[in-house]
A and B are shown apart, each in its own frame.
Chain A
Amino acid sequence: MNETIRELLGRVGGLPVPVADIADEADLYAAGLSSFASVQVMLAIEEAFDIEFPDNLLNRKSFASIKAIEETVAQIIKSREAA
Chain B
Amino acid sequence: MTLAALATDNTLATRAQRVAAIAAEFADRVDAEGRFPKEAVDAMKAERLLAIQVPSAHGGESASPLEIAEVCSIIGQACASSAMIFAMHHIKLSSLVEHGEESQWHLGFMQEVAGRQLLLGSATTEGGIGGNLRNSICAVEIDGGICRLQKDATVISYGAQADAILITSRANADAAPSDQVMTVFRKGQYTLERTHVWDTLGMRGTCSDGFLFKGEAPAEQVFPKPFAEIAAQSMLAASHLLWSGVWFGIAADAVSRAQAFVRAAARKSAGQVPPGALHLAEASNLLQLVKSNLLSGIRIYEDAKADGEKLSSMSFAIAMNNIKIASSQTILDIINKAMLICGIMGYKNGTPYSLGRHLRDAHSAQLMISNDRILANSSTMLLVQKPDFSLLG
Contacts and interface: CB of A to CB of B under 8 A. Distances in A.
Contacts of B226: 29-30
A66 interface: no
Contacts of B314: 55, 58-59
Contact of A34 (B178, B386, B388): B178
Interface string B162-191: 000000000100011111000000000000
A67 B43 CA distance: 52
Given A29-B228, A30-B175, A32-B177, A39 B383 contact: yes
Interface in B193-222: none
B385 interface: yes
Nearest to B232: A60
Contacts of B171: 30
A52 B380 CA distance: 16
B228 A58 contact: no
Interface in B358-393: 377, 380-381, 383-386, 388
B309 A56 contact: yes
A16 interface: yes
B312 interface: yes
Interface string B315-349: 10000000000000000000000000000000000
Given A29-B226, A29-B228, A59-B309, A53 B384 contact: yes
Contacts of B380: 35-36, 39
A56 B308 CA distance: 11
B179 A32 contact: yes
B229 interface: yes
Contacts of A43: 383-384
A58 B315 contact: yes
A78 B78 CA distance: 57
Nearest to B179: A30
Contacts of B385: 55, 58
Interface residues of A, number: 22
A31 interface: yes
B384 A58 contact: yes
B313 interface: yes
A52 B315 CA distance: 15
Contacts of B263: none
B386 A55 contact: yes
Given A39-B381, A59-B312, A54 B386 contact: yes
Interface string A1-22: 0000000000000001000000
B134 interface: yes
Contacts of A32: 176-179
B69 to A, nearest CB: 25
B309 to A, nearest CB: 6
Among B232, B313, B377: residue with most chain A CB under 10 A: B313
A56 B386 CA distance: 10
B124 to A, nearest CB: 16
A32 B178 CA distance: 6
Given A35-B134, A59-B309, A60-B312, A46 B384 contact: yes
A61 B176 contact: no
A33 B386 CA distance: 22
A61 B384 CA distance: 16
A60 B175 contact: no
A55 B7 CA distance: 50
A39 B378 CA distance: 11
B384 A29 contact: no
Contact of B228 (A42, A53, A60): A60
19 contacts: A29-B178, A29-B226, A29-B228, A31-B179, A32-B178, A34-B178, A36-B380, A39-B381, A42-B384, A52-B386, A53-B384, A55-B314, A55-B386, A56-B313, A58-B385, A58-B386, A59-B312, A60-B228, A60-B312
Interface of A: 16, 29-36, 39, 42-43, 46, 52-56, 58-61
8 closest Cβ contacts across the A-B interface?
A32-B176, A59-B312, A30-B179, A58-B314, A42-B384, A59-B313, A60-B312, A55-B386
Given A31-B176, A32-B177, A60-B312, 7 more contacts: A29-B228, A30-B175, A35-B134, A39-B383, A54-B386, A55-B313, A58-B313
